[in-house]
Structure 1
Amino acid sequence: MIKIKNINFQQLKQKFQVKKPWDDVIIFVLNILIAIPLFIILHQNLINPNWFLNIDRIILFIVMIIVIQIILRLLRTIIIFCIIIYLLVLAYGSTIGNYGFNSVFEDYNSMMYTMSYNPYPQDIIIAKLLPFPNKSKIINAIEYQNPRIRNFAIKATSEHFKNIKGYAEYRTIIQCFAVFKEINSRWNYVSDPKAGDYIATATESLLYFSGDCDDHSILMAASVRSIGGTPRLIHTKGHIYPEILIGSESDLEKVNFLIKNILFPIESHNKKLFYHVDERGQIWMNLDYTASYPGGPFMSEEILGALTLD
């Protein structure tokens, strides 16, 4: 009986065994895919001794590659088998489910964000890189195509800044600021149940303009997107807040003038604008519920993740 089981195991092992040199190629590629994001996380969270030519970081990466390579070789058969199952699951998710190959690419791409990230004077360096909390639920909750959300946003544009003249190229941003003014002037912060996070849809929050930071962010993002704006959500420690895409530095200068002199002169008087600059040089402005004007102070400065809504 023991011999039969041993023979069956050997046959199964040989069946899933990838022939050389392809097994080494697969393991090496998998090693790189694991090592790069892991290195980013360790690099951002370990104290930097500032060795000459960053030799400490080079040594760290080499050691990681060696260790991961040894582990993958020891688990060679199991790893190949797991990869096959993983690919089948992703294939199913791509055709039927909500998480497939495209989702994996987006998540891996976001983890690579800091590799080309250049800090600017008013920018906040991403110190950690974590999965965006409740990502799928939040995306589904941003109901920007719902007629109730769009009607609300349109109504806000008719009540605020409707008669601003001479800034046709910034009409959409001005209208998004009207949405910001309407939501933030009415927002009532209410905590989630003790049992855990409750993700309210945009239409739910529209009923009473109440909820916590993620509910506010969802409603703001949905409303802004429903009238042509480009929002994104920023995840910090214990907090989520929305931002809006402004554009280039020259766009920022004009938007700064609008906010300080025309749209929010009282709220922004003698105050600074807070924004982030992404890896493409595009500027994103804070729309948090704690701010009385677009670009108000950040409640929390350490960014853990970003969820962009194209």
Structure 2
Amino acid sequence: MTTTSAENTRPTPVTVLGLGPMGRAIASAFLDARHPVTVWNRTPGRAGDLPGRGAAEAGSVHDAVLAGQVIIVCLLDYDAVRATLEHAPADWANRRLINLTSGEPAQARRMSQSAAARGIDYLDGAILTPTPAMGTPAAAVLLSGARDVYESVQGTMAAVGAAPLYLGDDPGRASAYEIALLDVFATSVSGIVHAFALASAEGIEPERFAAFATGIGGLLPELITRFAQQLQSGRFPGDRSTIASAASGIAHVISTAAGHGIDVGVLAAAKSITDQAIADGCGPDGLARLATVLHKTGRV
């Protein structure tokens, strides 16, 4: 995209396709940064206060795309993105498409290939913060894809908050980070609610249990950092805890939970991994070793 220096000083016209809570937050952030904003949503009536603040509502995807130079799509899934873009104009000259829809790394790579076949400059991305953070320094957005495309939108995308972090030319990399982080969140929430159920079954009041459970949570930042260092070095000392001791502890939890009729499926899966590690001779190793066992057994 070639522009004069005068044009470079003008706010870039932005189009936002998809007006769920995150789409509205993104559009709001661009309005706050004084960008011309056009919005579109498949179901009318989702724009909220955006039109009153200056956003233009497009009647079609075609018109919405023509109105912007940076086109941001934030929909339910990649199927919805694909179906929406079928109605976009064929000519994407001087436009960039940034897909902030959650999905899988393989889907991001296929979408990038499809965009390239249509002559669309494309970046895939992930949003790691909730809607209230958009437009603030606390916002965290990851982008991946062609570097020249990233550089052309870097200034514009600063409107969402902190400068988006560029992760390289693999269009699936941002999604890969998001999926792995969702893994942390989903399995953590599963463990937390299971622990509350088990504590309740043993007559422990939720608030009293929470006082101790938050202490466990406080151990995780250091543990995560230590695991990363051990996985990087390939050394897994069992000087703090071992896989064998963890397996014993999980067995006690499973037995107690099952005695109360509480589902133990997640715990049984965790136990099967520790059992495999012990069978492989890794019982004396530290817990970070389990990540390599997961790869070996094809459970990821």
TM-score when normalising by structure 1: 0.27
TM-score when normalising by structure 2: 0.27
Q: Which structure has the higher relative contact order (CA within 8 Å, separation 6+)?
A: 1
